[in-house]
Amino acid sequence: MGKRTRERRNRRQRWEAARAYAGARERRKAAGARAREQRLTADGSSPAGEASAKVFAGLGVLMLVFALVGIPFLILDSTVPEVQTALGIRGTPGTATVLSCRAYRVRRSTRYDCEARFVFEDPARAPIVIKTVADVEVGETFPAAIGPQGDQALPTGARGVWRAVPVMSVVLLTPAILLFCLGLLMRSRAMKTGAGVLFAIMAAAVITGLTLGR
């Protein structure tokens, strides 16, 4: 009789222990779920916060793409006519002799307005006085052409092309930034190295153009 009583007591104790263990496990799961929900809410990663973050991320990507594509397009649009004039594809050719250069202040920088006597290649046309580029010296004579807008004499030949190189080299900025960002996202050292090479080429082009275009 006493033996059966002890067995029943032992079974009841084991059942109560298992029930207590199951209850404790459920409580731990519930506490963990509440803690994760609190962390997500604190980080702004709730469903509503995640939707807002995705919207802002999408707008940021669109603005970045517009900047990376639009800026080089504007640069090319303003530089290509100058390059075409330097190569003799567009414009009216002739020779320019610098007559005067006037310096004036714009905020904290100094700018120059230079005028030149432009002699057309066509002898039937009389010489005119017209604006020219700023990085010239009074008395200097150089081959030039009147640009498509007809209000400035631009240097032609190698000098004119080198003058446009620094501005056109900025076009390399778009693939360089894209490669660098992709390299960061994909953890690719090759992409980041390629971006560095493009940056180096752009810097070399700017320095060379500023030096040889003077």
pLDDT exceeds 90 at position 111: no
Tally of CA atoms within 13 A in the half-sphere of 165 that contains its CB: 21
Query: Do residue 94 and residue 151 come from a single domain?
Result: yes
Q: What is the pLDDT of residue 4?
A: 63
Q: What is the pLDDT of residue 120?
A: 94
Q: What is the pLDDT of residue 61?
A: 67
Beta carbons within 10 angstroms of residue 19's beta carbon? 10
| Side chain identity at residue 201, one-letter code | I
122 is a domain residue: yes
Query: CA torsion sign, 148 to 132 to 154 to 71?
Result: negative
35 is a domain residue: no
Q: What is the pLDDT of residue 60?
A: 65
**Regarding predicted confidence, which is higher, 195 or 117?**
117
CATH number at residue 109: 2.40.50
105 is a domain residue: yes
Helices 157-168, 47-86: axis angle to 10 degrees equals: 180
pLDDT exceeds 60 at position 49: no
182 is a domain residue: yes
The whole-number average pLDDT for the span 188-211 is 86
pLDDT exceeds 60 at position 3: no
User: Of 45-59, 62-76, 142-156, which range is least confident?
Assistant: 45-59
pLDDT tens-digit series, residues 92-104: 899 999 999 988 8
Query: CA torsion sign, 8 to 9 to 14 to 17?
Result: positive
39 is a domain residue: no
> For the chain, how many helices (H) and strands (E)?
5, 5
* Both tokens assigned to 118: 């432009």
**Regarding predicted confidence, which is higher, 52 or 130?**
130
**Regarding predicted confidence, which is higher, 118 or 77?**
118
Q: Using a pLDDT cut of 70, give the percent of the chain over it.
A: 71
201 is a domain residue: yes
Per DSSP, helices labelled H in 87-188 are: 157-168, 173-186
The per-residue pLDDT of the chain, averaged, comes to 77
Query: Do residue 167 and residue 214 come from a single domain?
Result: yes
**Regarding predicted confidence, which is higher, 107 or 20?**
107
Q: What is the pLDDT of residue 36?
A: 67
Query: Do residue 97 and residue 150 come from a single domain?
Result: yes
Number of domains observed in the structure of the chain: 2
1 is a domain residue: no
Give the domain extent around 211: 157-214
Query: Do residue 182 and residue 208 come from a single domain?
Result: yes
Query: Do residue 168 and residue 211 come from a single domain?
Result: yes
**Regarding predicted confidence, which is higher, 39 or 189?**
189
Q: What is the pLDDT of residue 130?
A: 93
pLDDT band at 141 (very low <50, low <70, confident <90, very high): very high
Does the model's pTM come out above 0.75? no
pLDDT band at 213 (very low <50, low <70, confident <90, very high): low
Query: Do residue 171 and residue 123 come from a single domain?
Result: no
Q: What is the pLDDT of residue 211?
A: 82
